[in-house]
Amino acid sequence: MQMTSSAIRRDWKTEFEISPGTVFLNHASFGPVTRRGRLAAESLMERWGRLTPGPDVDDETFAMLASSKGRFARLIGASAAQVAFAPNTSYGLNAVLWGLNLRKGERILMPEVEFPALVYAVKNIAQRLDLTIEPLPCPRGYLELDILEKALARRSAVLALSWVQYFNGYRYDLEEIASLCHASSCFVLVDAIQGVGAVPLDVEQARIDALACGAQKWLLGQTGSGFFYIARSPVREVQPLEAGWLGVDWGYRFHDLKDWNKPAFEDGRRWEIGTYPFFSIRFAEAGLAILEECGREAAWEYIQGSLSHLLEDLQGSGYQPALLPDARHRSGILSLKGPRTREMHEHLHLCNVHTSFREGTIRVSPHLYNTEDDIAALVEAMRRFEAGG
Ligand SMILES: Cc1ncc(COP(=O)(O)O)c(C=O)c1O
């Protein structure tokens, strides 16, 4: 049964290819295959694969890129010019960090609990450029504003953090964070993959300087595509460190390529340095279309409804949220903890209920696809385990 919510107008389950009987509550790990995505990628493959006589496919292909990019940009309230494709989140984070032209001794702030995509990107650049990393204490499992404020009292070049914590679902108020950081001219770089596609975000309002996001989770895409965004007037200039033949303007005509003096694109395309993962982008675009049709607010309301349901159904259970912040700090992730959590997670898998095990908790992450029955199946499987069955 679809969740009782006025938010969404139709049953989205039919859009997904998950086998009947499988309860998939693991969007924070990866997005399941969408029918539309498969068809879109297959039709592109068909078009390219047949190699029959016909018009050059370049026009079509680059039009597809423009339309996909428009969708990525709309999702976060940006313009397409501010967005570049990237194969994953890590690429975008690295591109921005290296594009900042950081100098020896400059400081990067980062919460001490962070997903390794940021940790290793920051560690690497810090070692290579002799920068200082300041890990910010997170005694409650997330960065508190007074700790950030204290850290900002010393000049800091960048704050790098995830919008939503991968293991406890804590969601930062980016507007608050950016306003504190900007008062000290500190650049705000956000790993947004655990938030965008579940929670609506408007980058103009949040005023962060840059974000990166893979399409393989909440955006309902698959691996190999994603994007990053850079604000029109970031607190510090960002320029691509790398260049390549597709970052310059050939007018999408690739017949005469001996020109060494083509101008670089002025918009996000200057970051796109080589041949695109077309199939993956095409697949992701189909997922973005689903999100657009549903509406960002409606999708978020629906996800919250699923998690509220779960919380209600768990009353009296030995498994409770590891963290349950105020509504404005919640996300599509709810992590549960109880006795023998790892064994419970394994039991759920055996019951064909898919969640993930992160930092000692069972991470539940529903999306548009999930129904009341899915939540009921999860709770029932948990109860069986608790009852020793
Ligand atoms: C917060 C966060 N950042 C990044 C990633 C993944 O990074 P990438 O898209 O570079 O593989 C994940 C999960 O896989 C994540 O939870």
Q: Give residue 287 CA to ligand 1 midpoint distance, Å.
A: 18
Q: Is the CB of 117 under 6 A from ligand 1?
A: yes
pLDDT band at 1 (very low <50, low <70, confident <90, very high): low
Record the tokens describing residue 171, joined without a space.
């969601």
Greatest pairwise CA separation for the chain in angstroms: 72
Q: How many domains in the chain?
A: 2
* 342 occurs within a structural domain: yes
How many other CB atoms are found less than 10 A from the CB of residue 63?
A: 11
Q: Give residue 258 CA to ligand 1 midpoint distance, Å.
A: 39
Q: Which residue segment(s) compose the domain that 346 sits in?
A: 12-34+295-386
Tell me the residue type at 2. Q
Which domain CATH number covers 308?
3.90.1150.10
Task: Please report the pLDDT score of residue 56 as a whole number.
Answer: 76
Which domain CATH number covers 58?
3.40.640.10
Q: Are residues 286 and 303 in the same domain?
A: no
pLDDT band at 389 (very low <50, low <70, confident <90, very high): low
* 40 occurs within a structural domain: no
Q: Are residues 203 and 334 in the same domain?
A: no
- As a whole number, mean pLDDT of residues 288-306 equals 96
Provide the phi-psi class of 173: left if phi over 0, else alpha when psi is between -120 and 50, else beta. beta
Q: Of 291, 317, 342, which residue is a domain's last?
A: 291
* 188 occurs within a structural domain: yes
Q: Is the CB of 365 under 6 A from ligand 1?
A: no
Examine the pLDDT at 7 and tell me if it is beyond 90: no
Q: Are residues 19 and 74 in the same domain?
A: no
* 2 occurs within a structural domain: no
Q: Are residues 181 and 301 in the same domain?
A: no
Q: Are residues 230 and 373 in the same domain?
A: no
Please tell me the distance from the alpha carbon of residue 144 to that of residue 159, in angstroms, as a whole number.
13
Task: Please report the pLDDT score of residue 11 as a whole number.
Answer: 85
Q: Are residues 303 and 249 in the same domain?
A: no
Q: Which atom of ligand 1 is nearest to the CA of 164?
A: 1
Q: Of 248, 264, 291, which residue is a domain's last?
A: 291
Q: Are residues 170 and 272 in the same domain?
A: yes
* 78 occurs within a structural domain: yes
Tell me the residue type at 274. G
pLDDT digits (tens, 9 = 90+) for 32-73: 999 999 999 999 998 888 877 777 778 888 999 999 999 999
Q: Are residues 221 and 361 in the same domain?
A: no
Q: Is the CB of 115 under 6 A from ligand 1?
A: yes
Q: Are residues 209 and 309 in the same domain?
A: no
Q: Nearest 5°: phi and psi at 210?
A: -160, 155
* 6 occurs within a structural domain: no
pLDDT digits (tens, 9 = 90+) for 67-119: 999 999 999 999 999 999 999 999 999 999 999 999 999 999 999 999 999 99
* 305 occurs within a structural domain: yes
pLDDT digits (tens, 9 = 90+) for 317-364: 999 999 999 999 999 999 999 999 999 999 999 999 999 999 999 999
Examine the pLDDT at 8 and tell me if it is beyond 90: no
Average pLDDT, the chain: 95
CA angle, 18 then 19 then 24, to 5°: 50
Share of residues in the chain with pLDDT > 70 (%): 98
- Pick the residue whose CA is nearest to atom 16 on ligand 1: 166
Q: Are residues 136 and 219 in the same domain?
A: yes
The pick from 193, 194, 213 for probing ligand 1's pocket by mutation, whose C-beta has the most ligand atoms within 8 angstroms, reads: 193
Place of tokens 């608050």: 176
Q: Give residue 154 CA to ligand 1 midpoint distance, Å.
A: 29
Q: Are residues 272 and 147 in the same domain?
A: yes
Place of tokens 């993959």: 193
Q: Is the CB of 191 under 6 A from ligand 1?
A: yes
Q: Of 291, 313, 328, which residue is a domain's last?
A: 291
* 362 occurs within a structural domain: yes
Examine the pLDDT at 210 and tell me if it is beyond 90: yes
Lowest mean pLDDT among 36-40, 224-228, 252-256, 370-374: 252-256
The pick from 29, 96, 115, 161 for probing ligand 1's pocket by mutation, whose C-beta has the most ligand atoms within 8 angstroms, reads: 115
Task: Please report the pLDDT score of residue 50 as a whole number.
Answer: 80
Please tell me the distance from the alpha carbon of residue 127 to that of residue 7, in angstroms, as a whole number.
48
pLDDT digits (tens, 9 = 90+) for 182-204: 999 999 999 999 999 999 999 99
Q: Are residues 66 and 198 in the same domain?
A: yes
Q: Give residue 4 CA to ligand 1 midpoint distance, Å.
A: 31
Q: Which atom of ligand 1 is nearest to the CA of 114?
A: 1
Task: Please report the pLDDT score of residue 6 as a whole number.
Answer: 56
Lowest mean pLDDT among 12-16, 81-85, 282-286: 12-16
